[in-house]
Amino acid sequence: MNGVQLWAVQRATAMVLALAVVVHLVTILVAVRGGLSAAEIIGRTRGNWAWLGFYSVFALAAGLHGAIGLRAIAAEWAGWRGRGYDLAWIGIALLTAAFGIRAAWGLYSA
């Protein structure tokens, strides 16, 4: 991907993250004010495909967004460039996203 494409992906993931963070925080505030405990919240999210999908998209957006930012920092500070370098950052993005998706799956299947 070239710089313009990476810039567009980072801005798109920023928009997804902004919406996801608001939904996440509002959901937590509503649940806690409603008197739900953590165990009750997990009980309600267990087996819910919508929440699994939401948190999977959240994790993927966070992984991509963070890796693109780290890639830009490494390119600027260390002068790293090239195809191998790009593949390493894609790997970091996918690995980070996989950790988040695994956590979402843990809530889904808890």
Distance, in Å, from the CA atom of 9 to the CA atom of 13, rounded to the nearest integer, reads 6
| CATH code for the domain defined by 3-109 | 1.20.1300
pLDDT value for 110: 67
pLDDT value for 89: 86
Q: Please, what is the Cα angle at 9 between 4 and 12, to 5 degrees?
A: 125
List the domain boundaries for the chain: 3-109
pLDDT value for 78: 82
Amino acid at 102: R
58-83 pLDDT, tens digit per residue, is 999 999 999 999 888 888 888 877 88
What sign does the CA torsion over 85, 88, 94, 97 have? negative
In the 3-class helix/strand/coil scheme, how is 54-66 assigned residue by residue?
A: HHHHHHHHHHHHH
Q: Does pTM surpass 0.95?
A: no
**Cα 20 from chain centre:** 9
13-53 pLDDT, tens digit per residue, is 999 999 999 999 999 899 888 888 888 888 888 888 999 99
Q: Characterize 35-61 residue by residue with b for buried, 16 or more Cβ atoms within 10 angstroms of its Cβ, and e for exposed.
A: eeeeeebeeebeeeeebbebbbbbbbb
pLDDT value for 82: 81
The residue with greater pLDDT, 51 or 1, is 51
- Does pLDDT of 1 surpass 90? no
What helix, strand, coil percent values describe the chain, rounded to 5? Answer: 85, 0, 15
